[in-house]
């Protein structure tokens, strides 16, 4: 696998399909699995790690879903290449940074991936756009396929065994990546966060914490993996995500009713800055992108599709910029390159800049 080629092609889960008017970015399902007969976590030896990799690769080769998947051995990648994989959500920072034999398998679309020898022997992931529920059905299918040839560590009492007890049981972490600028602007986010914390679901800023989440992007995920079925977990998360979408739509309607000019101004200023700035920090970029995405949700600004926004959010991250430049860049150089990349890509779109005039 050529990482340069990877960088040029967006993961398919950024397609913006089924995105509830720009509010939902993606839905992710992750299963933690371990092989019976091998120690977990830090107890495993290097030789055993090698055997785990071999077993998983053999099982994947024999599966339909991962038959043609790409395997990347982390030890053969340099630091920036590993960061590219982190930025694409193909591997965790933990997998990128730890020592020892470890790697990642992923399909062409980057929707399905398996981290090998992260905290658990396998961390299988499915990411799909919107709230379609495909993430769960696909990860479940992959689990079945691999389970046909791999012997999962499992007990009837506890379910799937994992390195950390917080994952034991279903081993399932479902999450939804959701854009909530209306709730943040109307200052209702704290109340919503408080309400969700009463349930067994966590809401985190994707980049940054609490209601100060960078770019108003939040990840909602289940916290419990014991005592409820996978189907219940998925269903409950979907219900919560749909409720958040409804709350967000209400907040956006309130904004438009109370302050249409100010909201339009905010959206178009953000578009104007993204289209023209010569220096863009990642923080400013994320906040401006959030305003443009709000414009899409409100139909204030048409012509910048959510797939476009999802993709530049990935491709303007530091490792992607460095991969494109084919060299290390200091932060000031990255801010120049980020601005240039965003500007050139926006210039390829057709945006009616009077589209949202009152």
Which among 77-85, 86-94, 196-204, 271-279 is the span making contact with a copy of itself, rule CB under 8 A? 271-279
- Residue 336 engages a copy of itself in binding (rule: CB under 8 A): yes
- Residue 61 engages a copy of itself in binding (rule: CB under 8 A): no
- Residue 8 engages a copy of itself in binding (rule: CB under 8 A): no
Which of 46, 258, 272, 349 binds a copy of itself (CB under 8 A)? It is: 272
Would you say 237 and 201 are in contact if contact means Cβ atoms under 8 Å apart? yes
- Residue 321 engages a copy of itself in binding (rule: CB under 8 A): no
**Shortest approach of a copy of itself to residue 329 CB, angstroms?**
13
Indicate the residue among 127 and 277 with the shorter CB distance to a copy of itself. 277
- Residues in the interface with a copy of itself (CB under 8 A) total 27
Report how far residue 71's alpha carbon sits from residue 94's, in angstroms, rounded to the nearest whole number.
18
Q: For 15, which DSSP code? A: S
What three-state secondary structure class fits 152?
strand
Site for a copy of itself, residues 275 to 314, rule: CB under 8 A? 275-279
Indicate the residue among 121 and 334 with the shorter CB distance to a copy of itself. 334
Indicate the residue among 5 and 347 with the shorter CB distance to a copy of itself. 347
- Residue 325 engages a copy of itself in binding (rule: CB under 8 A): no
Binding characters for a copy of itself, 113-132, by CB under 8 A (x = yes): --------------------
Q: What are phi and psi of 316, to 5 degrees?
A: -100, 10
Indicate the residue among 88 and 266 with the shorter CB distance to a copy of itself. 266
Which among 54-62, 163-171, 200-208, 333-341 is the span making contact with a copy of itself, rule CB under 8 A? 333-341
**Shortest approach of a copy of itself to residue 185 CB, angstroms?**
16
- DSSP E strands, the chain: 24-33, 70-73, 103-106, 112-116, 122-129, 154-155, 159-160, 172-179, 201-205, 217-222
- Residue 350 engages a copy of itself in binding (rule: CB under 8 A): no
**Shortest approach of a copy of itself to residue 317 CB, angstroms?**
20
Report how far residue 93's alpha carbon sits from residue 76's, in angstroms, rounded to the nearest whole number.
16
Q: For 56, which DSSP code? A: H
**Shortest approach of a copy of itself to residue 300 CB, angstroms?**
9
Q: For 35, which DSSP code? A: B
Which among 29-37, 58-66, 162-170, 272-280 is the span making contact with a copy of itself, rule CB under 8 A? 272-280
- Residue 24 engages a copy of itself in binding (rule: CB under 8 A): no
Site for a copy of itself, residues 228 to 267, rule: CB under 8 A? 261-262, 264-265
Report how far residue 337's alpha carbon sits from residue 191's, in angstroms, rounded to the nearest whole number.
38
Which of 149, 281, 340, 345 binds a copy of itself (CB under 8 A)? It is: 340
Burial degree of 132 (CB within 10 A; 0-12, 13-18, 19+): middle
Indicate the residue among 61 and 260 with the shorter CB distance to a copy of itself. 260
Report how far residue 325's alpha carbon sits from residue 333's, in angstroms, rounded to the nearest whole number.
10
Report how far residue 216's alpha carbon sits from residue 207's, in angstroms, rounded to the nearest whole number.
9
Q: What are phi and psi of 112, to 5 degrees?
A: -115, 135
Report how far residue 155's alpha carbon sits from residue 146's, in angstroms, rounded to the nearest whole number.
18
Report how far residue 221's alpha carbon sits from residue 260's, in angstroms, rounded to the nearest whole number.
33
Would you say 15 and 142 are in contact if contact means Cβ atoms under 8 Å apart? no
> CA-based Rg of the chain, rounded to a whole angstrom?
21
Indicate the residue among 31 and 300 with the shorter CB distance to a copy of itself. 300
Point out which residues bind a copy of itself (CB under 8 A).
261-262, 264-265, 268-269, 271-279, 332, 336, 339-340, 343-344, 347, 353-354, 356-358
């Amino acid at each position: 696998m050529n990482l340069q080629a990877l960088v040029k092609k967006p993961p398919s889960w950024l397609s913006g399909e089924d995105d509830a008017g720009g509010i939902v970015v993606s839905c992710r399902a992750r299963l933690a699995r371990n092989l019976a007969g091998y120690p977990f976590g830090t107890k495993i030896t290097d030789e055993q790690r090698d055997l785990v990799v071999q077993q998983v690769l053999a099982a994947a080769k024999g599966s339909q879903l991962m038959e043609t998947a790409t395997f990347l051995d982390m030890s053969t990648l340099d630091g920036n290449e590993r960061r590219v994989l982190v930025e694409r959500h193909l591997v965790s920072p933990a997998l990128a940074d730890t020592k020892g034999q470890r790697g990642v398998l992923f399909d062409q679309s980057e929707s399905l991936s398996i981290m090998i020898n992260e905290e658990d022997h396998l961390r299988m992931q499915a990411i799909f756009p919107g709230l379609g529920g495909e993430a769960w059905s696909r990860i479940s299918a992959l689990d079945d396929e691999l389970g046909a040839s791999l012997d999962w560590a499992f007990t009837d009492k506890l379910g799937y065994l994992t390195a950390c007890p917080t994952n034991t049981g279903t081993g399932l972490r479902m999450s939804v990546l959701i854009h909530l600028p209306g709730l943040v602007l109307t200052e209702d986010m704290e109340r919503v966060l408080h309400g969700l914390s009463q349930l067994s679901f966590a809401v985190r800023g994707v980049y940054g914490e609490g209601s100060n989440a960078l770019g108003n992007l939040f990840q909602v995920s289940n916290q419990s993996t014991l005592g409820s079925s996978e189907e219940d977990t998925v269903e409950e998360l979907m219900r919560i995500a749909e409720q958040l979408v409804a709350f967000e739509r209400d907040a956006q309607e309130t904004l438009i009713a109370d302050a249409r000019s100010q909201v339009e101004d905010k959206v178009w200023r953000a578009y104007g800055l993204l289209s023209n700035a010569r220096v863009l920090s990642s923080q400013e970029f994320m906040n401006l992108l959030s305003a443009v995405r709000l414009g899409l949700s409100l139909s204030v600004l048409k012509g910048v599709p959510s797939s476009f926004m999802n993709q530049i959010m990935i491709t303007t991250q530091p490792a992607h910029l460095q991969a494109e430049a084919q060299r290390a860049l200091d932060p000031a150089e990255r801010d120049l390159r980020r601005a240039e990349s965003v500007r050139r890509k926006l210039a390829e779109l057709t945006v009616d800049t009077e589209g949202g005039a009152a």
